[in-house]
Structure 1
Amino acid sequence: MTVLHPFIEFGFMRRALVACVALSISATPLGVFLLLRRMSLVGDALSHAVLPGAAIGYLISGLSLVAMGTGGVIAGLSVALLSGAVSRYTPLREDASFAGFYLGSLALGVTLVSLRGSSIDLLHVLFGSLLAVDNAAVLLVSGIAVVSLMVLALIYRPLVIDAFDPGFLRAQNRWAAPLVHGIFLVLVVTNLVAGFQVLGTLMCVGLMMLPAAASRFWSHRLSGILVAAMSLALLASFSGLVASFYLSLPAGPAVVLCAAILFFISILLGPCGGIFRSHGFLSIRKE
């Protein structure tokens, strides 16, 4: 088949697809919970917040996965903790605190990369190089996906309770809510670092949040939303890579663009609140 030819013929296409599949099944469920907790923009903020740490790792060791990944995790968690502390002990709200820290982090990271690297290195950090993913990156992303799914399964029940009724969770155990929230933020940052290795800091949040937002139009049940989100992410990954191969498009942006197209289709045609369905444009009137 024509659509399968690139993956059968070329190893770099297979590696890119495996990396995207791993991100789709681990990062997208976290995006669903970010939406449920009204923290959708926090994912975008944290994706930019990993940049200074990744840039420091790049300055020390070049394009090293271990150094850049470790620096990104430290920077992302630092911004998350600092933003939470500022919103707790000052009148500033959490969204404004995150905005301030991530904008500063983005500017600092770009500056650090520019001090040593070329414009090509900067583009690699910001937008990734999906088709240049090697075996080490695939193993890293796949390992993070496996660990993320296992941890998410362990905290799934309290995480759901905290998303829908945080007061009940605090009443049951005063330490449960902050512990679950902390573990959840660690998972988000770790998956954003994994996505950063593949799609870059500006694109990785797209595969996390766009399918998650689109899935709300395909099911009313949380289990159905999670399945729909992962399915849409997988479809966006496959179609984006095929489009990049045949249309000579940059692979990472093509994947995120396909996710955005699926998001708009869901808004229009989704059976659970889609514009055409909810207004009866597609309904068949019986005479």
Structure 2
Amino acid sequence: MSFLFNFTPDEDDPEKEADAFRPREDEANTVHKKTRATLSEAKEVTKFCDEELTSKFESLQLEFGQQCLKVVDTRKLGNLILKDEKFRSFADSKNLVAALSSNSDLVAGIYEGGLKMWECGEDLVHFLSSHPVGQAIELKGKFILELGCGAGLPGIYCCSCGAKAVHFQDFNEEVLQLVTHTNATYNITESKEVKCRYLSGDWSSLSQLLQKEKQIYDVILTAETIYSPENYSSLHDVFHTSLSANGVVVVAAKVYYFGVGGGTDGFIEYVESQKCFTAEVVHTIKAAVPRKIILLHRQKSNPGSR
């Protein structure tokens, strides 16, 4: 099923926001076929923008508790990529350029929205920085994976909190090259001993790669990634194969995603059906479409193979 955004959410009008989330009927079949046919093999990304390109970016300052993060203003990045030949040659992706040209924020299985800063990514950082009693997540000295990272705000925040290593994953290699790595460079000084890694590709392939490497994480973070129930299995596999026995998964998402069937209730139901993790809603953000923070821990009876 397709999932295309072309909107600025209207928090004061649920009906307008609902219409914005619904997929375009005339594109549904085409995108659905592409989604099933397109698998992007997981790989490490090591080539990034040089200073000549990043000097053209405009930036924003975002505050989270006592931390202030400098990030690329992605609202203007799309036009820059389309108009500047140097960016076009660097981000040589037909899928990315096609999505930007059609003003689509997300096309499932083709372009996964990484050039847009989504609300739940910021929700996740606010949650981590608020240190809620009984739910505070220890980040210092930990190995952390951010799935579907896009701008990478949660992962970058973890870097600032003394994480040992932060690995950023996004479906689109170009997002990691243009945005994620640039944001990390803005905020991580040489004095901070944190090892960053960048991985592109789909989650099924990622799970296989991480298993092969025997890579384990103490904390897995993900925001706005549960919009499609078709992806729950592959996302859950990454959790199951790559989370330490005492680790935690933090999921930030909307309660429902119009037109595609995903949302927090359906995701929790799926997780519980697999009998590997417990799932608990620990925070709710009131909005026209409410948003929630969910914590996953391994069930004591099913610690996994790690």
* TM-score, shorter chain, exceeding 0.5: no
User: Which structure is higher in strand share?
Assistant: 2
User: Which structure is higher in helix share?
Assistant: 1
RCO (CA 8 Å, sep 6+): is it higher in 1 or 2? 1
TM-score norm. by structure 2 comes to 0.29
TM-score norm. by structure 1 comes to 0.31
Structure whose alpha-carbon radius of gyration is higher: 1
